[in-house]
Structure 1
Amino acid sequence: MNILKKTLCLSVMGTALLATTSMALAAECPDGFPSKPINYWVGYGAGGGTDTIARALATEMESALGWTVIVQNKPGASSSVMMSQLAVAPADGYTIGVTSSGSVTKFPYLNKKSPYTKDDFDYPGTAQEAVVSIVAAADAPFNNFEELLEYGRAHDNRITIAAASGSVEIFTKAFTAKTGVTFVHVPTKGSTAALQSVLGGHVDITLQGTGHVQHLKAGKMKQVFTIGDKRPVFAPDSKTTVELGYDLKGTNSYVLFAMPKNIDPAVKTCIETALADATNSQGFAKLQANFDQIPTNLGPVGTKAKLDEIATVFKAYYAK
């Protein structure tokens, strides 16, 4: 086969594959849907992690399906501003919220006047499981959880931890109860401020998502341990709290999709399938790899079950 014939063959195969994918999805979607652009409402500002994920998935859907997907940023109050609007949006499948799991598992219990609850939405799936990291400056005299405890016992039996969220105390109270070392939460205005508190030598450790990864790579910080049950790609030697003997419920955090309740079942299935294809695409996997992340879509059933599990923890915590 000469080069021209081979090129034409590959082109035809690629076109056929795309057509097959589109036809398969078309079978999942009701006739005529979508007849207008799909709106992605992102609960955070442009340029952030959630926004980057939303735009990447919008591009994947447009490329594979020929749909038009418009990304709109609606930041405010940890995504609750957007979710409040989504709760009263038309249940027609044309508006999809892109948010963090905390906006439905934590905010409604933290804010007793919340205009929405977790049960006001349907959840077609997730895009990513967020890492919860405990990190320190590179020159800290401890490298892991065990050495951190030894350090704390030698320094007034206390360890200071900077974190923007008060819910970090769910973790610190568990550590204190089991080890006898007091973990003192030092509140900050945002995760960046918490990061600077450690780099400036004002606190011992900080709770982070992935904002510290660049500092890990630059040799300015170290990952002491990881909260949850999975070691992150960027810190494979960092033990998890499960490995350390702590079964901390509610530690998982996800970037997830939400839709107004009571959407037509056929449209709902269509959206679920489209999002599953986008999150499983090679393009999205490449983007996630660039940020040392792995795509994670729990699907509608798995997402609801996980959100129910996490919400149970925050409901009990904020009821006190």
Structure 2
Amino acid sequence: MSIQQHAKHITRRPLLAALAGMALAGAMPLAHAQPAAFPSKPITMVVPYPAGGANDMLGRLIGQKMGDALGTATVVDNKPGAGALLGAGIVARAPADGYTLLVGGLATHAASPNLLKADYDPLKDFEPIGMIGSAPIIVITATDSPYKTLKDVVDAARKDPQAIMYGSSGNGSPLHLAGELFLSIAKVNMTHIPYKGGNAHIIDLIGGRVPVIFDTATNSMPLLRGGKVRALAVGSAKRLPDLPDVPTLAELGYPQFEFSAWYALFAPAKTPADVSAKLSAALAKTLKLPEVASKLGELGVSVGNGNANELRSFLPAEYQRVGNLIKTAKIKAD
């Protein structure tokens, strides 16, 4: 090899090494830019109700089991306020990455947006993940109430509508809507007494100051098991297994009564399709667990199937139906 050829060989090797190094360095940012597989961090489940209630227990149960299915931790964040609009609005504005979910339902996606000024569109600002379940309405009275049947209540209301009152957790609440629906079907009047959330309406029912409440099963089942109240009727299609002696409203002559509180999981709109699919699959898997079905049953909830498409199809009609009820009954916000 000549001196000139040797020199060229020496100078070419560092040059090629340098070029290779530059190419490798240029490829590294591309590798780092690839998103991590979902989920790669904890998921926050926003519950738009205070801690300790049925909605909170439901959210914690579903969150824990979904976390197990997805291989990540879940954190429940209680954001009560404004008829559940506060928590729902937080999720609607959250990054659409699947890490912030809403345990919503009748209030967040039908009742409150029709009654109050929501800062989100319930049909456009969320990605449906799936239906968790539904809870029928149970007509309850105090254990020592003079009203032994629903007919007793209706007959008393026909004689003196001002004397018969029904309580609820507030104007536009599921309890209020259920009460107004029943009155329209039964063609009878009662005086509605709205309470400011909490359990004040239950305390007054037990104390005999309010004769009747059209309650959700999630609220009333623990009271019934504890012997604190008595059930007059259930709004489900069939008698409830835990209340075999309590007739359905259809049995009592009110087959048109179709109303239940429902619970569903939502992500912000524009969440990537693959992320939404993973969340829906995890929810469906969770709802099939025997321990989840058992616990939801204790809360009075009939288990859903977690199907996103079914929830998506259900929402517009439910929003319209509840809106029509609010208008017909002339329900106003507090």
Tell me which interval the TM-score lies in, with the shorter structure as reference length: 0.7 to 0.9
Structure 2 counterparts to residues 1-320 of structure 1, below 5 A:
32-111=37-116, 113-119=117-123, 120-155=125-160, 159-167=164-172, 168=175, 170-190=177-197, 192-209=199-216, 210-243=218-251, 244-249=253-258, 251-319=259-327
Task: Verify the 8 A CA contact 1:98 1:256 in the aligned structure 2.
Answer: yes
Which residue type is aligned with residue 207 of structure 2? G
Task: Verify the 8 A CA contact 1:144 1:238 in the aligned structure 2.
Answer: no
Output the CA distance in 2 between the equivalents of 1:85 and 1:300: 21
Deviation (angstroms), 1:161? 0.7
Output the CA distance in 1 between the equivalents of 2:304 and 2:140: 24
- Percent identity, aligned pairs only, is 26
Deviation (angstroms), 1:71? 2.3
Deviation (angstroms), 1:124? 0.9
The superposition leaves residues 77-115 of structure 1 with CA deviations (integer Å, 9 ceiling, x where unpaired) of: 23211111111111112221112321111111111x311
Output the CA distance in 1 between the equivalents of 2:254 and 2:201: 26
Provide the residue aligned with 1:14 in structure 2: none
- Gapped runs of 5+ residues in structure 2? 1-34
Task: Verify the 8 A CA contact 1:39 1:95 in the aligned structure 2.
Answer: yes
The alpha-carbon distance between structure 1 residues 172 and 55, as it changes in their structure 2 partners (threshold 3 A), is: closer
Output the CA distance in 1 between the equivalents of 2:77 and 2:54: 14
Deviation (angstroms), 1:191? 5.5
Which residue type is aligned with residue 50 of structure 1? N
Output the CA distance in 2 between the equivalents of 1:303 and 1:133: 24
The alpha-carbon distance between structure 1 residues 195 and 242, as it changes in their structure 2 partners (threshold 3 A), is: same
The alpha-carbon distance between structure 1 residues 175 and 212, as it changes in their structure 2 partners (threshold 3 A), is: closer
Task: Verify the 8 A CA contact 2:181 2:325 in the aligned structure 1.
Answer: no
Output the CA distance in 2 between the equivalents of 1:138 and 1:48: 22
Which residue type is aligned with residue 91 of structure 1? A
Secondary structure in 1 matching 2:128 = strand
Secondary structure in 1 matching 2:37 = coil
Task: Verify the 8 A CA contact 1:160 1:203 in the aligned structure 2.
Answer: yes
The superposition leaves residues 162-184 of structure 1 with CA deviations (integer Å, 9 ceiling, x where unpaired) of: 11233455544554455453222
Deviation (angstroms), 1:202? 1.5
Secondary structure in 1 matching 2:324 = helix
Secondary structure in 1 matching 2:82 = coil
Task: Verify the 8 A CA contact 2:280 2:308 in the aligned structure 1.
Answer: yes
Task: Verify the 8 A CA contact 2:162 2:191 in the aligned structure 1.
Answer: no
Task: Verify the 8 A CA contact 1:89 1:95 in the aligned structure 2.
Answer: yes
Task: Verify the 8 A CA contact 1:158 1:181 in the aligned structure 2.
Answer: no
Output the CA distance in 2 between the equivalents of 1:318 and 1:153: 23
The superposition leaves residues 247-288 of structure 1 with CA deviations (integer Å, 9 ceiling, x where unpaired) of: 235x22212111111222122111110111112112312322
Deviation (angstroms), 1:70? 2.4
The alpha-carbon distance between structure 1 residues 191 and 161, as it changes in their structure 2 partners (threshold 3 A), is: farther
The alpha-carbon distance between structure 1 residues 61 and 173, as it changes in their structure 2 partners (threshold 3 A), is: closer
Output the CA distance in 2 between the equivalents of 1:75 and 1:169: 19
Output the CA distance in 1 between the equivalents of 2:255 and 2:198: 24
Output the CA distance in 2 between the equivalents of 1:263 and 1:139: 52
Tell me the TM-score normalised to structure 2 length. Answer: 0.76
Secondary structure in 1 matching 2:234 = strand
Output the CA distance in 2 between the equivalents of 1:233 and 1:190: 29
Larger Rg: 2
Task: Verify the 8 A CA contact 1:142 1:151 in the aligned structure 2.
Answer: no
- Gapped runs of 5+ residues in structure 1? 1-29
Tell me the TM-score normalised to structure 1 length. Answer: 0.79
Which residue type is aligned with residue 198 of structure 1? L
Secondary structure in 1 matching 2:83 = coil
The alpha-carbon distance between structure 1 residues 178 and 56, as it changes in their structure 2 partners (threshold 3 A), is: closer
